[in-house]
Amino acid sequence: MDISLFDFNLPKEQIALRPANPRDSARLLRVDDAGLFDHRVFELDQLLRPGDVLVSNDTRVIPARLFGRKGEAKIEVTLHRRLDDQSWIAFARPAKKCKIGDQIDFDGLIAEVKARDGAEVTLHFPVDDLDAALEHHGVMPLPPYIAAQRPVDARDLDDYQTIFNRKAGAVAAPTAGLHFTPGLLAALEARGVLAETLTLHVGAGTFLPVKVEDSDDHKMHSEWGEITAETAQRLNAARAAGGRIIAVGTTSLRLLESAADRAGIIHPYCSDTDIFITPGYRFRAVDVLLTNFHLPKSTLFMLVSAFSGLDRMKAAYDHAIRSGYRFYSYGDACLLFPQTMNAPQ
Prediction pTM value: 0.93
Tens digit of each residue's pLDDT (9 = 90 or more) over 138-193:
999 999 899 999 999 999 999 999 999 999 999 999 999 999 999 999 999 999 99
Q: Give which of 9, 48, 55, 58 is closest to 28, Cα–Cα.
A: 48
Q: Check if 3-61+158-336 and 65-138 are the same fold.
A: no
Instruction: Note the pLDDT tens digit of each residue in 272-329.
Output: 999 999 999 999 999 999 999 999 999 999 999 999 999 999 999 999 999 999 999 9
**Strand (E) or helix (H) holding 130:** helix 130-137
User: At what angle are helices 250-259 and 299-308 packed, to 10 degrees?
Assistant: 70
Highest CATH level, class, for 3-61+158-336? alpha beta
Q: What are the residue ranges spanned by the domains of the chain?
A: 3-61+158-336, 65-138
pLDDT by residue (tens digit) across 47-65?
Answer: 999 999 999 999 999 999 9
Closest CA to 138 of 127, 293, 225: 127
Q: Which CATH fold topology does 65-138 show?
A: Thrombin, subunit H (2.40.10)
User: What is the pLDDT averaged over residues 77-89?
Assistant: 93
pLDDT beyond 80 at 218 = no
The number of residues in the chain equals 345
Strands 109-117 and 103-106, sheet pairing: antiparallel
- Find the range with the poorest average confidence among 76-80, 166-170, 312-316, 340-344: 340-344
Q: Whole-angstrom Cα distance, residue 343 to residue 92?
A: 44
Q: Is 97 left (phi over 0), alpha (psi -120 to 50) or beta?
A: alpha
